[in-house]
């Protein structure tokens, strides 16, 4: 990883950098891992299911490495980063199916549990990754447009996203000069929606696409370049970049 030009240059190249994508075996993380590898980075992906890791590694560019561990387990998280060693950019995209329930239906225990992978997992990853990130590196977390545009039954999902955005800003201040940003995607066709029946899922995609300025829901590849941009844009920190096809407007 190197800064180009003079000392004030803010452009960072991914050539020969090391990029760790926690949640990189599927959806957004997979697309980021693929794009970073094509940009010349050595990429390490991680997620909880060893079979998914193996399948992802078969599809990702040669040289990509992978490990399985559960982000809810602090000991596993710390051991993973100790094995990784020094690297340049952390991307965190791990997340399971969304908890979408009205307040009346919601169990408080399930609501608290819902923060484990997305919020507490991200915090643990940042805690153990930060000492290993080389000068000029970055952290990119993941939020979503439901942070600012929730629907009924999105109370917990939206709260997690809001927490992620505040976490991003707080970390950017505390960990400076290490840069910390987040990407807030709109609705994308990924495995995250697989807990819905195919009919419900396609109904959701169609309902949203019809309202959207770009007239379609997104693909993971639509947002991957934004993660790469934030890794390489050395003057951005504490920012939440919305990539949603105009969803927040309608
Ligand atoms: N898709 C969307 O429409 C959308 C929109 C806005 C925001 N987002 C956010 O973007 C993030 C990624 O979503 P996605 O669409 O890429 O989802 P995805 O395709 O389901 O990928 C989620 C990844 O997280 C990993 N994961 C889940 N639980 C884990 C655990 N306990 N430990 C380690 N890894 C774990 C999964 O692998 P394993 O199963 O192997 O663990 C998988 O690699 C989520 O936070 C989501 O809320 C998504």
**pLDDT, tens digit (0-9, with 9 covering 90-100), for 14-47:** 999 999 999 999 999 999 999 999 999 999 999 9
Secondary structure letter of residue 190 according to DSSP = S
Evaluate whether residue 191 is within a structural domain. yes
How many structural domains are present in the chain? 1
- Rounded to the nearest angstrom, the distance between the alpha carbon of 57 and the centre of ligand 1 is 17
Evaluate whether residue 175 is within a structural domain. yes
Residue 11 has pLDDT above 80, yes or no: no
In whole angstroms, what is the distance from residue 94 CA to residue 217 CA? 20
Closest to 227 measured CA to CA, from 25, 19, 63, 49: 19
Q: What residues are in contact with ligand 1 under a 6 Å CB criterion? A: 23, 25-29, 47-49, 52, 70-72, 93-96, 117-118, 142, 144, 185, 187-188, 190-192
Which pLDDT band holds residue 64 (cuts at 50, 70, 90)? very high
Identify the CATH number of the domain in which residue 180 sits.
3.40.50.720
CA dihedral 231, 235, 239, 243 (to 10 degrees): -60
Backbone angles phi, psi at 211, to 5 degrees: -90, -20
Which pLDDT band holds residue 152 (cuts at 50, 70, 90)? very high
Evaluate whether residue 250 is within a structural domain. no
Evaluate whether residue 10 is within a structural domain. yes
Q: Which residues contact 229 (CB under 8 A, 6 or more apart)?
A: 241
In whole angstroms, what is the distance from residue 129 CA to residue 33 CA? 17
- Rounded to the nearest angstrom, the distance between the alpha carbon of 28 and the centre of ligand 1 is 7
Query: pLDDT tens-digit profile of 93-135?
Result: 999 999 999 999 999 999 999 999 999 999 999 999 999 999 9
| Mean pLDDT value across residues 197-211 | 93
- Rounded to the nearest angstrom, the distance between the alpha carbon of 156 and the centre of ligand 1 is 16
Establish whether 107 is a catalytic residue: no
Any bridge partners for residue 242, and if so which?
Answer: 184
In whole angstroms, what is the distance from residue 127 CA to residue 77 CA? 10
pLDDT of residue 6: 47
Evaluate whether residue 7 is within a structural domain. yes
CB 64 within 8 A of CB 90: no
Q: Regarding beta strands 179-185 and 240-243, do their DSSP bridges make them parallel or antiparallel, or are they unpaired?
A: parallel
Nearest CA to ligand 1 atom 11: 93
Q: For a substitution probing ligand 1, which of 66, 190, 194 has the most ligand atoms within 8 Å of its CB?
A: 190
Give this prediction's pTM. Answer: 0.96
pLDDT of residue 9: 56
CB 90 within 8 A of CB 129: yes
Interhelix angle 220-232/27-38, rounded to 10 degrees, is 50
Evaluate whether residue 229 is within a structural domain. yes
Closest to 236 measured CA to CA, from 164, 163, 177: 177
Structural domain range at position 236: 2-243
Closest to 73 measured CA to CA, from 125, 111, 126, 129: 125
Percent of the chain clearing pLDDT 70 (strictly above): 96
Residue 4 has pLDDT above 70, yes or no: no
pLDDT of residue 3: 45
Evaluate whether residue 249 is within a structural domain. no
């Amino acid at each position: 990883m190197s800064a180009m030009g003079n000392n004030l240059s803010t452009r960072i190249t991914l050539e020969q950098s090391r990029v760790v994508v926690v949640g990189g075996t599927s959806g957004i993380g997979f697309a980021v891992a693929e794009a970073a590898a094509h940009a010349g980075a050595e990429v390490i992906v991680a997620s909880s299911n060893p079979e998914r890791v193996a399948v992802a590694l078969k599809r990702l560019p040669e040289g990509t490495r992978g490990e399985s561990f559960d982000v809810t387990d602090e000991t596993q998280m710390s051991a993973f980063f100790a094995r990784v060693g020094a690297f340049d950019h952390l991307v965190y995209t791990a997340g399971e199916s969304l908890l979408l329930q009205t307040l009346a239906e919601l169990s408080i225990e399930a609501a608290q549990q819902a923060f484990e992978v997305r919020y507490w997992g991200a915090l643990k990853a940042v805690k153990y990754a930060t000492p290993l990130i080389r000068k000029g590196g970055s952290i990119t977390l993941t939020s979503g447009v439901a942070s600012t545009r929730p629907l009924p039954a999105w109370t917990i999902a939206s709260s997690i996203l809001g927490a992620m955005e505040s976490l991003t800003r707080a970390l950017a201040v505390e960990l400076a000069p290490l840069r910390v940003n987040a990407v807030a995607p709109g609705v994308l066709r990924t495995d995250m929606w697989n807990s819905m029946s195919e009919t419900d899922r396609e109904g959701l995609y169609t309902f949203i696409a019809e309202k959207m300025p770009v007239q379609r829901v997104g693909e993971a590849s639509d947002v991957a370049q934004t993660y790469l941009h934030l890794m390489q844009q050395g003057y951005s920190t504490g920012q939440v970049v919305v990539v949603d096809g105009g969803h927040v407007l309608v």
